[in-house]
Structure 1
């Protein structure tokens, strides 16, 4: 699957190049990254990307349009399973509380739901992580039960293709 750049009002979501993922996985930084990016979770994801470079992955860098700096990451856990694809995200602490994550989630979810094999997009979140819960709610996802994850009981938030087009 081809993953194009996705442009929002303030961000460009650009597929994470293998060379840059290798830099992050090695614990290094690129000059066009915000000073506090990547975080530990980003480095973990980058490590996965470098171990399977030929596999389509759907992971993007969040690029701030005003500065050109990478300020976060967002990605699809590709490939979908039974018509559903999970996504996850993170933004550098210096760029939190600006609405960037909500903006990125809206763009990624809308894009994912255009794939012919995707009917549902979902994310899981620790209910104690109120900022992340709020991101998902503001992006239009609805709570759809709970699941057991590595971190304990998580809330599942979903958006279907029918819900997106019915707005």
Structure 2
């Protein structure tokens, strides 16, 4: 009978593997079905060898990561409990961009979003307690529309939006209730 001589893993090792898997899912590297399958393996893993298939093909964890998403047409959409990277670069020629940060996992006090729109439109929904600065965003055709909250908000992340919009439109608002 062959025994696995790999050292046993701790709860911290298991939690780290699960966190990497969730980050890969949020960034679009694995599908929901793959994540569910890998989560089951990670939750029952006893050795480092058991975690190998869970972590196979996942990007290395980078705490200050930059994620770039580009589309010629179509839709770029992030919503729900996705993990927001420190820097997010979005480029869209003709499509629609929807970034809902209101329920997202935001680990950084400052988030930079570099937005490049040619002919599309974008909408960014902020958490209620977030602040925003979009003065670094150049607009040739229409200026961004920002709906400020009725009450001043503090204590949340600061979102800095920069980049360029040729004939695109951007609407920024805070989450309602």
Q: Normalization by structure 2: what TM-score?
A: 0.28
Which is greater in Rg? Answer: 2
| Structure with higher strand content | 2
Q: Normalization by structure 1: what TM-score?
A: 0.29
